[in-house]
């Protein structure tokens, strides 16, 4: 039932005249979130212009007003079809104009009616109505009586559950004897949804209406009962846990009185000892003590207290002042390095120099070493050897794919499941604050909206600031100045430059076949034999078998796959020995296939014939040097150039430069420029799924192109690398050593290199120089003189694609 606040109302209109006749045309007011029933009193705030107009018109006449509910309460200015047709003729009992133009009114429902027609729609709604007469039952039959009783009882129950029941309400409920009125009264008080209430008002038959209300009531009773039950359960729960807490506190007090320790006090005491033992920095100790005091005051089972415990566990386990003592004996260090690593003389020397400086000046900051090279060349094992030589702990984390600064620096403790960053995690793992700390894949570090991990890394590495490296989780700084950081990367190009500036890059470029053979014999095989539980005398590898594993089962700059394949071999033999075979076993070329399956790479596959339009370039990839085949063909067309094989922009430009060079010098090749009138030239670099870029395939593309033009084949044993200018000059390139090793693996015997790269030849191992002839050139003429054969082509065959490792190739 609506209520009103009499004091607010200025214009009080005299009470209703029951004899009055309701006019058939009335102003109409749509309302949003209420359905008005007959007899219901409803206070309304009216603000919409049309509605205010309707009220004013009503007041100026006999105060009748038709009130109907709009279908969607969200609409500001509902159209006739957006308003329910059945509503209630109401009378304005009181009204008050507010200074802001709004009107406050108290209305009472008089009779149910239907809108027959909209007479006016613009400044206000005026409607023609038809009063709906309810069929009146003079005698209330038994069924209706029972239903009414039910409805009364339900209503009382609900009101009682809601705490709204009073004797007054009770007597109103019993005093109503008309089923229709009872239905309306209860419905208007049920807090129904608009469409439910409208559905009720639209039921004309009073008995049917009461039945519907009864249904709604029984549903509501269930709901209210459920709600009350839940409420009381929650209350019980809270009071139980409060009770438990008090009891526990009492037990604690009793224990204390008796001089015994309970679990909780024990826990707190343990933390106290651990904090003392951890020898933290002053700030850290203060923070740990503070958190411990918080823990003491918390409910021991609360979620919060477990967060604090995790934090304290981290704090007490970090090596705040735990360090290992450096033992730097250069001779011994040399023997450790030599024992684990064959060759790598220059790198071992550099490491020994580094250690010597450390020995003489322990405070020296020194550069941060960064080992750069393809996978499996020994970066990790060198790091481990350094740690061994200095008797330091060794930890290793990978930075590959990290884009979020929080990975380095940790998440703030406000995050659920927050942890310290990887650096602090690594230190905990090391258990000392001066480990050799290796960070892998620094070239694969990313950056995005979550912050730049490289700047956090810089703070960790920079000797000027890393004595107070701050981790978000600890919310404290940790001294990293004693840590010896070593970084690793596959290529140095993508290392963030701010980091690169602070590092000393040491290149490890990969091994030749001979080196691999020696390392296999001296290191890899003995290790695998031992790991698989085989006695050295039970197994023997022939040199031929080892070389075949290197060339036909692996194709890599490093040693990873080689070690894996040798491991597989040993495992297979271990099984035979375990099954009772005596051995000793000879692993020879012939027996390889039995253990390792058919070869995975055929080096001679590409060496069949020299072909027209097929040249061999050299690329430098993440996994070392690689040969890169370039194909060129002349096809019917209009002098256009087609480039395929996922070439990057720089490579496409080189191709265009190569074509321009060829056309500018067309006379030299004894070809007529008219050839381009009806021919297109197509350049393709196979292994099309791998994106390739870089300028150094320039001369290889020009050679393939000119070979296609002149129909002179390119010598299959020649590989080349070099950038080309429009005038045909050959410019220098990078990564010569890696490329040379790649060429050797592919069975090349002559490598054309830019004249300016001649000085890099000193870095090429002697045994490589023995097998490869390097020909420095200054211009394209010299390239063609070496690369093109003069003999007429043999029958051309489609060139075969070679299996390539994934990764972006830089030529």
Mind telling me the catalytic residues? 696, 739
The C-alpha atoms of residue 157 and residue 225 are separated, in whole angstroms, by: 9
Handedness of CA 79, 80, 86, 88 (dihedral sign): positive
DSSP state of 355: H
Distance of CA 194 to CAs 204, 222, 335, Å? 18, 21, 89
* Angle separating helix axes 345-360 and 330-340, nearest 10 degrees: 150
The SS3 of residue 562 is helix
C-beta closer to ligand ADP: residue 220 or 556: 556
List the x/- string, 488-527, binding to ligand ADP by CB under 6 A: -------------------------------x---x----
C-beta closer to ligand ADP: residue 6 or 766: 766
Q: Does 184 bind ligand ADP (CB under 6 A)?
A: no
Strand spans (E) along 436-584 = 436-440, 469-471, 476-478, 484-489, 503-507, 539-541
C-beta closer to ligand ADP: residue 236 or 349: 349
Given a contact cutoff of 8 angstroms between Cβ atoms, the answer to whether 695 and 723 are in contact is yes
CB of 759 to ligand ADP, least distance (A): 26
The C-alpha atoms of residue 135 and residue 44 are separated, in whole angstroms, by: 30
C-beta closer to ligand ADP: residue 488 or 611: 488
Question: What percent of the chain is helix, strand and coil (3-state, nearest 5)?
Answer: 45, 20, 35
C-beta closer to ligand ADP: residue 55 or 370: 370
C-beta closer to ligand ADP: residue 342 or 469: 342
Of the residues 380, 388, 591, 665, which one makes contact with ligand ADP according to CB under 6 A = 380
C-beta closer to ligand ADP: residue 188 or 622: 622
C-beta closer to ligand ADP: residue 179 or 375: 375
List the x/- string, 562-601, binding to ligand ADP by CB under 6 A: -x--------------------------------------
Residues in the chain, total: 811
Q: Does 624 bind ligand ADP (CB under 6 A)?
A: no
The tokens describing 505, both together, are 């890059």
Give the side-chain half-sphere CA count within 13 A for 421. 25
Given a contact cutoff of 8 angstroms between Cβ atoms, the answer to whether 435 and 393 are in contact is yes
CB of 621 to ligand ADP, least distance (A): 15
The tokens describing 472, both together, are 């978000």
The C-alpha atoms of residue 652 and residue 692 are separated, in whole angstroms, by: 10
C-beta closer to ligand ADP: residue 154 or 342: 342
The C-alpha atoms of residue 347 and residue 329 are separated, in whole angstroms, by: 18
Distance of CA 568 to CAs 183, 327, 671, Å? 86, 38, 56
Q: Does 344 bind ligand ADP (CB under 6 A)?
A: yes
Span of 33-41, 174-182, 374-382, 615-623 interacting with ligand ADP by CB under 6 A: 374-382
Neighbours of 667 (CB within 10 A): 9
Run of H or E residues at 252: helix 206-258
Residue of 153, 56, 69, 139 lying closest to 101 (CA atoms): 56
Of the residues 150, 265, 323, 381, which one makes contact with ligand ADP according to CB under 6 A = 381
**Cβ neighbours of residue 491 closer than 8 Å, sequence gap 6 or more:** 372, 443, 620, 622, 810
Angle ∠(752,697,630) on CA atoms, nearest 5? 95
Among positions 520-559, residues that touch ligand ADP (CB under 6 A) are 523, 558-559
C-beta closer to ligand ADP: residue 126 or 523: 523
CB of 503 to ligand ADP, least distance (A): 16
CB of 594 to ligand ADP, least distance (A): 25
CB of 800 to ligand ADP, least distance (A): 30
Span of 200-208, 370-378, 632-640, 769-777 interacting with ligand ADP by CB under 6 A: 370-378
Concatenated DSSP letters of 744-770: HHTT--EEEEEGGGGGGGGGS-HHHHH
The C-alpha atoms of residue 492 and residue 462 are separated, in whole angstroms, by: 19
Of the residues 104, 112, 209, 341, which one makes contact with ligand ADP according to CB under 6 A = 341
Distance separating the N- and C-terminal Cα atoms of the chain = 86
C-beta closer to ligand ADP: residue 530 or 727: 530
Of the residues 2, 43, 300, 343, which one makes contact with ligand ADP according to CB under 6 A = 343
Span of 279-287, 378-386, 452-460, 719-727 interacting with ligand ADP by CB under 6 A: 378-386
Counting beta carbons within 10 angstroms of the beta carbon of residue 398, is it exposed (0 to 12), middle (13 to 18) or buried (19 or more)? middle
Neighbours of 678 (CB within 10 A): 11
Per rule CB under 6 A, count of chain residues that contact ligand ADP: 17
The C-alpha atoms of residue 753 and residue 731 are separated, in whole angstroms, by: 9
Query: Which residue minimizes CB distance to ligand ADP?
Result: 378
CB of 408 to ligand ADP, least distance (A): 21
User: Which residues contribute to the site for ligand ADP (CB under 6 A)?
Assistant: 341-344, 375-381, 519, 523, 558-560, 563
């Amino acid at each position: 039932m609506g209520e009103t606040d009499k004091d607010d109302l200025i214009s009080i209109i005299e009470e209703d005249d029951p004899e009055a006749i309701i006019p058939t045309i009335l102003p109409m007011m749509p309302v949003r979130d209420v359905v008005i029933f007959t007899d219901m009193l409803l206070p309304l705030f009216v603000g919409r212009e049309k509605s205010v107009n309707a009220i004013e018109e009503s007041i100026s006449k006999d105060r009748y007003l038709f009130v109907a509910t709009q279908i969607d309460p969200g609409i500001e200015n509902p159209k006739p079809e957006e308003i329910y047709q059945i509503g209630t003729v109401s009378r304005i009992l009181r009204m008050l104009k507010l200074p802001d133009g709004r009107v406050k009114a108290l209305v009472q429902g008089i009779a149910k009616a239907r809108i027959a027609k909209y007479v006016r729609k613009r400044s206000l709604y005026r409607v023609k109505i038809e009063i709906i007469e309810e069929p009146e039952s003079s005698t209330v039959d038994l069924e209706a009586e029972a239903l009414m009783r039910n409805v009364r009882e339900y209503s009382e129950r609900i009101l009682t559950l809601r705490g709204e029941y009073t004797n007054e309400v009770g007597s109103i409920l019993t005093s109503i004897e008309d089923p229709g009125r009872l239905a309306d009264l209860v419905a208007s008080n049920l807090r129904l949804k608009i469409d439910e209430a409208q559905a009720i008002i639209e039921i004309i038959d009073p008995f049917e209406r009461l039945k519907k209300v009864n249904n709604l009531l029984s549903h509501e009773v269930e709901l209210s009962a459920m709600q009350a039950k839940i409420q009381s359960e929650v209350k019980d729960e809270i009071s139980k846990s409060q009770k438990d807490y008090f009891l526990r506190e009492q037990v604690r007090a009793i224990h204390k009185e008796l001089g015994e320790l309970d679990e909780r006090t024990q826990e707190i005491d343990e933390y106290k000892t651990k904090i003392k033992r951890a020898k933290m920095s002053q700030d850290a100790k203060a923070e740990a003590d503070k958190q411990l005091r918080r823990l003491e005051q918390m409910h021991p089972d609360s979620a919060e207290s477990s967060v604090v415990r995790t934090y304290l566990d981290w704090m007490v386990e970090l090596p705040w002042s735990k360090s290992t003592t450096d033992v730097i004996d250069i001779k011994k260090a040399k023997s450790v390095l030599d024992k684990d690593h064959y060759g790598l003389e220059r790198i071992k020397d550099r490491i020994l120099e580094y250690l010597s400086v450390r020995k003489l000046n322990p405070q020296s900051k020194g550069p941060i070493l960064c080992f750069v090279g393809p996978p499996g060349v020994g970066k990790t094992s060198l790091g481990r050897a350094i740690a061994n030589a200095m008797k330091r702990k060794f930890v290793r984390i990978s930075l590959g794919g990290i884009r979020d600064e929080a990975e380095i620096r940790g998440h703030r403790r406000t995050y659920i499941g927050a942890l310290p960053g990887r650096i602090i995690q690594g230190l905990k793992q090391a258990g000392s604050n001066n480990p050799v700390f290796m960070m892998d894949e620094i070239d694969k570090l990313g950056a995005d909206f979550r912050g730049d991990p490289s700047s956090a890394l810089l703070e960790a590495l920079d000797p000027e600031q890393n004595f107070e490296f701050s981790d978000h989780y600890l919310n404290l700084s940790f001294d990293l100045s004693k840590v010896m950081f070593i970084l690793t990367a596959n290529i140095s190009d993508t290392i963030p430059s701010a980091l690169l500036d602070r590092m000393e890059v040491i290149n490890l470029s990969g091994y030749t076949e001979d080196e691999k053979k020696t390392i296999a014999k001296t290191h890899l095989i003995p290790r695998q034999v031992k790991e698989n539980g085989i006695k050295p005398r039970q197994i023997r590898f022939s040199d031929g078998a080892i070389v075949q594993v290197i060339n036909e089962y692996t194709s890599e700059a490093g040693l990873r796959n080689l070690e894996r394949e040798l491991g597989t071999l040993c495992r297979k033999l271990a099984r035979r020995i375990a099954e009772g075979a005596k051995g000793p076993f000879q692993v020879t070329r012939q027996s390889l296939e039995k253990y390792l399956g058919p070869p995975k790479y055929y080096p001679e596959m590409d060496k069949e014939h020299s072909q027209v339009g097929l040249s061999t370039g050299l690329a430098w990839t993440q996994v070392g040097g690689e040969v890169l085949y370039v194909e060129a063909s002349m096809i019917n067309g209009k002098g256009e150039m087609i480039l395929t094989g996922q070439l990057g922009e720089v490579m496409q430009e080189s191709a265009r430069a190569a074509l321009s060079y060829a056309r500018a010098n067309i006379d030299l090749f004894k070809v007529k420029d008219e050839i381009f009138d009806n021919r297109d030239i197509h350049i393709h670099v196979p292994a099309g799924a791998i994106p390739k870029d870089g300028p150094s395939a320039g001369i290889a593309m020009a050679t393939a192109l000119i070979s296609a033009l002149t129909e002179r084949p390119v010598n299959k044993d020649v590989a080349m690398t070099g950038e080309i200018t429009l005038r045909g000059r050959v410019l220098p390139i990078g990564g010569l050593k890696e490329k040379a090793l790649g060429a050797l693996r592919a069975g090349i015997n002559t490598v054309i290199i830019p004249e300016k790269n001649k000085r890099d030849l000193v870095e090429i191992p002697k045994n490589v120089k023995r097998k490869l002839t390097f020909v420095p050139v200054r211009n394209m003429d010299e390239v063609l003189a070496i690369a093109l054969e003069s003999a007429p082509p043999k029958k051309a065959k489609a060139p075969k694609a070679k299996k390539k490792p994934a990764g972006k190739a830089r030529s």
